[in-house]
Structure 1
Amino acid sequence: MIVTTTQSIDGHKITAYHGIATGETIIGANVFRDVFAGIRDIVGGRSGAYETALAEARLTALAEMQEYATSLGANAVVGVDLDYEVINNMLMVSASGTAVTID
């Protein structure tokens, strides 16, 4: 399945629109990871634990969106948008786009 942030896909014609496809994931922040990330932020450097958690959450949200698009009969998703929110020390990542059929 082609997934893109653009409204069209070069070399392909959109033949049908199936509606909005979404996927969400919420992950909790581990207390120990929070402590070590705080220490790393104080002394400088990147927080590998947070980067890994963020990447995992993003991939899960995109996978759920693709599954939903497939259930709508689509073979691609265009106009994809990713949103990130922190809710009560948990990270929510949502992905949305337009489920389409391309030739």
Structure 2
Amino acid sequence: MQLSNLEHLPNYTITERLDVVYGSTVRSKHVGKDIFAGLKNIVGGELTSYTELLEESRQEAIDRMIAKAQTMGADAIVGIRFSTSSIAQGASELFVYGTAVKAVPNHTANHLQP
């Protein structure tokens, strides 16, 4: 599955636009990690536990979006965007969306003269 934050795919022609697809996940903070993060705020530096949590959340949301696109027979998802929102105290949603499309490679792009 090709993924792009552009509205097109370089070296591909979009032959059909299928529908908007999305994926989301809602995660809460771990109390122990939250206490450590509070201490880290005092001395500064990266909050690696939150970085890892966000990376896992992004990947889970992307995987869910891809699964929806695959059920439509899509070859790619274009115009991908991410959004986050607070759902409740200590819980946030990570949301990703884009347009599922069918696309074919441009064979002429591979034969360009220098």
Identity among equivalent pairs (%): 30
SS in 1 for 2:12: coil
TM-score of the two chains, using structure 2 as the length reference: 0.88
Match of 2:112 in 1: none
SS in 1 for 2:42: helix
Aligned-pair distance for 1:86? 2.0
Corresponding residue pairs, total: 103
Aligned-pair distance for 1:28? 1.2
Amino acid at match of 1:60: E
Does structure 1 residue 84 correspond to structure 2 residue 88?
no
Match of 2:109 in 1: none
SS in 2 for 1:73: coil
Aligned-pair distance for 1:6? 0.1
Structure 2's unaligned 5+ residue stretches are 105-114
Amino acid at match of 1:85: S
Larger Rg over CA atoms = 2
Partner Cα separation in structure 1 for residue 80 and residue 34 of structure 2? 30
Aligned-pair distance for 1:85? 1.4
Aligned-pair distance for 1:55? 0.4
CA RMSD, 1 decimal = 0.7
Match of 2:110 in 1: none
SS in 2 for 1:17: strand
Structure 1's unaligned 5+ residue stretches are none
